[in-house]
Chains A and B, each alone.
Chain A
Amino acid sequence: MRSRGWLSGFRKPETWFAYGFIFPWLFGFIALTAGPMVASFYFSLTNYSVEQIAGLEKTSYVGAKNYRQLLEDEKITLALENTFIYTVMMVPATIIVALTLAMILLRVGRAGDFFRTVFYLPQITPPVAVGILLLVLFNGQQGIVNRGLELIGIPGPFWTTDPEWIKPSLVIMSVWAVGGTMVIYLAALRGVPQQLYEAAAMDGAPAWRRFKDVTLPMISPSLFFTFIILTIAGLNTFTEVYTAYFGTGSAGAESPEAALMYAIYLFRQAFEFFNMGYASAMAWLLFVIVMTVTLVQIVVSRRFVFYQGSARE
């Protein structure tokens, strides 16, 4: 019965118009998403690489060999470690700084609009430029960051060459571009009904209680959303780090191991060494990791996120 109703929909001209309208997406989905996904999985089970692309050798099925190799490849372990460490530092740092900025901006009156623009500027700075700025600002000998630290009596580390300090400097540069997250929190904070604060104040709740029991629950959907988006961005991080530390020329040869992010290693395997089969397996591992992390976040966050009419929209 239901399927007949479904099919009979195709007798209406409206249906054909609708499919005509969504055709661009449908075509793109099949040709550029679904098809490539299937192909990617197939390639991950083959030895597809330089010789096969050039047509010198036949592509052959190698089963799970690429996936086994993932486990043995020390660089994979290294790249995953780097990526996780970076993400684990970057996400909370971004959230805390963004929330702090947003809360300060709400307390400076009309000037808030102007400073919101100021704080947003790094966000519209192209990532390649951010990578270059990282190299010059955090330069160990001459960089302005270390000059500044000198002024307050702290000897700055060699940020861009000391493996211990490469990731912290990357995190600081990411946090500099905190504007987008901040704007999301600003909108959320403005949506918190003022009466709640007034009621809390009347009950004699101190400022931190008002923050913990009113602000945080009321903006938790936004916190949750940015938590997920930032984590995905962190796990996929590429451009800034690639610009600063990896290059196609001899610069690539000296790339510090501490900066080898997963997406960079994947890119090099695919487009510098042309190990397409292996790189496809790497891509699927990344997919599984991102999905798993996101699902865990959704499940864990469910109990902390508070949806309420006005907060949700």
Chain B
Amino acid sequence: MTAGAPSNLGPTGTGTATARLPQILPRTARRRRVPLGNFKRAIFMAAVLLLSVLFIYPFLWLISASLKPKTDVFDNRLIPNEFAWNYDDLLDIAPVATWFMNSVWIGVVGALLTTLSSALVAFAFAYFRFPGRNLLFGLVLATMMLPGAVTMIPSYLIWNELGLVNTQYPLWVPNLFGSAFYIFLLRQFFMAIPRDLFEAARIDGDNYLTMFWRIAMPLAKPALIVTFVFEIQAKWFDLMTPLIYLRDAALFTLPLGLKTVLDQFGTGGGGQADWQIIMAGTVVTVVPMIIIFAFFQRAFLEGIATQGRKG
């Protein structure tokens, strides 16, 4: 499984293997627009710079606050007057390293499984003609509309019945069964692969499984990467599922851990308002996503843009 290789995400394209295929993901190359006057351009540039400050400032504030002693957190200086390494305190009061590793492994396992299972299902819907196909694919689309709340309680009761509440299984096992949105996305991609390629592979002695693995999967790499990073993000963001299923602090994921740190050390729960520690925890939760985004930027942005063109 090479879905994690960032090397194919260079600025030149989505990899040579897909160059022949009709583009599903939009190219970033732009057409020329009506040229703007220098004055107008300067005004737009100023607006963009001003707005960027609004969007970036909270991050700078956060990182700066995480490096200040308790009394200075709200002094609103960007460069701390006096530095304090609150990260050591954070590690002392909470098993943050464990939470971090839990989040990483649940994210990676969940994303790998969902990419693989969704691709398998999507390939079947794209390639095979079989009775019930349209009906079943309609059901796939219908489940995209279903709010999670409706299935949340019985799912919990099933896991409870299996004795697996307060384990991490409920957080990633559902990824074995594919996910409607990814199935939809990947099916689009598989359908764009010329059928001749598959017929040729069949003549060369491939069976359906090797054909899927050797022909379809490599060609769908850009879409597989989108699926992978979207699911990583979904897992990294999720608070509700861990909140429902996890009780032992040692099993927590980062969002749930951060929430308990907030409850314990914030002002609401009679805490000491140790915001400097909470800020350090927030940085630990925020920064890994920014790093992942830096590597997979193209996949994130194209995945989102593709979503918008389903309409």
Measured CB to CB, the nearest residue on chain A to B32 is A194
> Is there a chain A Cβ closer than 8 Å to B205's Cβ?
no
Contact assessment for A126 and B289 in the assembled complex, using a CB-CB cutoff below 8 Å = yes
> Is there a chain B Cβ closer than 8 Å to A96's Cβ?
no
Contact assessment for B55 and A118 in the assembled complex, using a CB-CB cutoff below 8 Å = yes
Contact assessment for A24 and B120 in the assembled complex, using a CB-CB cutoff below 8 Å = yes
Residues of B contacting A: mostly: helix
A221 to B307, CA, bound (A): 12
Which of B133, B183, B262 meets A243, CB within 8 Å? B262
> Is there a chain B Cβ closer than 8 Å to A95's Cβ?
no
Q: How many residues of B contact A (CB 8 A)?
A: 105
A124 to B32, CA, bound (A): 30
Contact assessment for B52 and A118 in the assembled complex, using a CB-CB cutoff below 8 Å = yes
Distance to closest chain B CB from A64 (angstroms) = 18
Distance to closest chain A CB from B32 (angstroms) = 7
Contact assessment for B147 and A283 in the assembled complex, using a CB-CB cutoff below 8 Å = yes
Which of A19, A129, A136 meets B286, CB within 8 Å? A129
By a CB distance below 8 angstroms, the chain B residues around A305 are 311
Distance to closest chain B CB from A283 (angstroms) = 4
Q: How large is the interface on A (under 10, 10 to 19, 20 to 34, 35 or more residues)?
A: 35 or more
> Is there a chain A Cβ closer than 8 Å to B249's Cβ?
no
A95 to B148, CA, bound (A): 25
Contact assessment for A183 and B48 in the assembled complex, using a CB-CB cutoff below 8 Å = no
- Stretch in contact with the other chain, from A31-39, A70-78, A80-88, A162-170: A31-39
> Is there a chain A Cβ closer than 8 Å to B131's Cβ?
yes
A75 to B123, CA, bound (A): 46
Contact assessment for B259 and A188 in the assembled complex, using a CB-CB cutoff below 8 Å = no
> Is there a chain B Cβ closer than 8 Å to A217's Cβ?
no
By a CB distance below 8 angstroms, the chain B residues around A215 are none
By a CB distance below 8 angstroms, the chain A residues around B56 are 118, 121
Task: Name 26 interchain pairs, CB-CB below 8 A, sorted by A.
Answer: A9-B130, A21-B121, A25-B117, A25-B118, A25-B178, A25-B183, A32-B177, A37-B150, A106-B33, A107-B33, A107-B44, A122-B58, A124-B293, A125-B286, A129-B282, A136-B65, A142-B76, A176-B55, A221-B309, A224-B311, A247-B268, A266-B149, A271-B243, A283-B149, A290-B145, A305-B311
